[in-house]
């Protein structure tokens, strides 16, 4: 078994500087200690520049995908060390772009730097290596005692060691002695030969009590390539607000896909279930089902990067590409 560890940045390899935590720890020296007793040949490389994952862009996702593809011949499993802030976006993005990759990719990181007393770094990396050795394929997130589908995971806590959950999909495994294997990742139709991610202009508009049509119109001007509405509950918006739904409807008419996600971490968006979302649905907005916000965002960026537009993007939102959405 040959496992390659790709280090991209994040708290796990940070040290305290005068300006706060930043990458700079001796991750490779530390990794040698963590992997000393592992029954696999472990290699490691850095993705330059090492970043706080809050700086990640779709180009960063593509850099991870490219690096994994470039190293595929030299390893049969991969661990990606990543900051926790946007790990769920990157894992979802990787799952769409790595359909035919045929080797497991396990994302992990930590809440405390590797050098901090009581750090969760060593446990998370050991577990991720074990998951990489045991998984047949697919992109997953291994964190705080859970192995989760990469495109169903979300960061639920900024501080807890069990900081990731997958609110709408059972964990793949609960880590213990022995590991409890609970579910298999859902399949998707895959995407052959995907074009690279590019930076897309996706407007995310959060519904709040009292939001006005003027505020929504301002968020949609200049016209973005796609809109994700962070609606309430099952996909509801304050449709009694004069002009608010019209603002979204005009965007759809102009060829901009409008995707309705929920502010609830665990959601089953059904546009039109309530009268509050009926008009938006009739205008052509499409629900994100039970996708996490991160998966919905990464999927929209993926579809736009493939050159799809408007109704073509909307048509793909409910169709699983990599198991990211329930039937």
Q: Is 15 helix (H, G, I), strand (E, B) or coil?
A: strand
Q: Is 85 in the site for ligand ASP (CB under 6 A)?
A: yes
- 293 vs 316 by CB, closer to ligand ASP: 293
Least separation in angstroms between CB 47 and ligand ASP:
13
CA atoms within 13 A on the CB side of 81: 36
Least separation in angstroms between CB 97 and ligand ASP:
20
- 34 vs 304 by CB, closer to ligand ASP: 34
Q: Which one of residues 3, 6, 7, 11 is an interface residue with ligand ASP (CB under 6 A)?
A: 11
The single residue of 8, 11, 292, 300 carrying the catalytic annotation is 11
Binding mask of the shown chain, residues 149 to 178, with x at each position contacting ligand ASP by CB under 6 A: ------------------------------
**Contact (Cβ atoms closer than 8 angstroms) between residue 142 and residue 117:** no
Rounded to the nearest 5°, which phi and psi values hold at 202? -110, 120
Q: Is 257 in the site for ligand ASP (CB under 6 A)?
A: no
CA-to-CA distance for 45 and 67, rounded, in angstroms? 10
How many other C-beta atoms are found inside a 10 Å radius of the C-beta of residue 105? Answer: 25
Is 8 an active-site residue? no
Q: Is 60 in the site for ligand ASP (CB under 6 A)?
A: no
Least separation in angstroms between CB 54 and ligand ASP:
5
Q: Is 75 exposed, middle or buried, given 0-12, 13-18 or 19+ CB atoms closer than 10 A?
A: buried
**Contact (Cβ atoms closer than 8 angstroms) between residue 150 and residue 139:** yes
Active-site residue set: 11
**Interface with ligand ASP by CB under 6 A: which residues?**
9-11, 52-54, 83-85, 109, 111
């Amino acid at each position: 078994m040959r496992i390659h560890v790709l280090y991209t940045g994040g708290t796990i390899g940070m040290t305290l500087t005068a300006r706060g935590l930043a990458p700079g720890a001796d991750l490779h020296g530390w990794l040698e200690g963590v992997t000393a007793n592992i029954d696999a040949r472990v290699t490691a490389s850095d993705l330059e520049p090492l970043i706080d994952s809050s700086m990640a862009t779709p180009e960063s996702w593509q850099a991870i995908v490219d690096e994994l593809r470039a190293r595929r011949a030299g390893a049969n499993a991969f661990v990606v060390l990543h900051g926790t802030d946007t790990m769920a976006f990157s894992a979802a993005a990787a799952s769409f772009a790595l359909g035919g990759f045929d080797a497991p990719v396990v994302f992990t990181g930590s809440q405390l730097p590797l050098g901090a007393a009581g750090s969760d770094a060593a446990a998370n990396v050991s577990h991720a290596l074990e998951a990489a050795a045991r998984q047949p394929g697919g992109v997953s997130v291994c964190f705080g005692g859970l192995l989760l589908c990469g495109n169903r995971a979300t960061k639920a806590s900024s501080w807890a060691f069990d900081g990731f959950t997958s609110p709408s999909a059972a964990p793949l495994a609960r880590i213990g002695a022995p590991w409890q294997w609970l579910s298999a990742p859902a399949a998707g139709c895959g995407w052959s030969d995907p074009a690279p991610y590019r930076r897309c202009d996706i407007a995310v508009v959060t519904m709040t009590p009292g939001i006005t049509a003027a505020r929504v119109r301002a968020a949609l001007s200049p016209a973005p390539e796609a809109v994700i509405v962070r609606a309430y509950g099952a996909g509801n918006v304050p449709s009694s607000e004069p002009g608010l739904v019209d603002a979204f409807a005009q965007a759809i008419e102009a060829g901009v896909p409008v995707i309705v996600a929920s502010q609830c971490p665990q959601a089953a968006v059904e546009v039109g279930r309530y009268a509050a979302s009926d008009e938006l649905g009739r205008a052509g907005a499409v629900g994100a089902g039970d996708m996490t916000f991160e998966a919905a965002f990464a999927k929209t960026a993926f579809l736009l990067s493939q050159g799809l537009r408007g109704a073509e993007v909307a048509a793909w939102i409910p169709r699983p590409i990599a198991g990211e959405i329930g039937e």
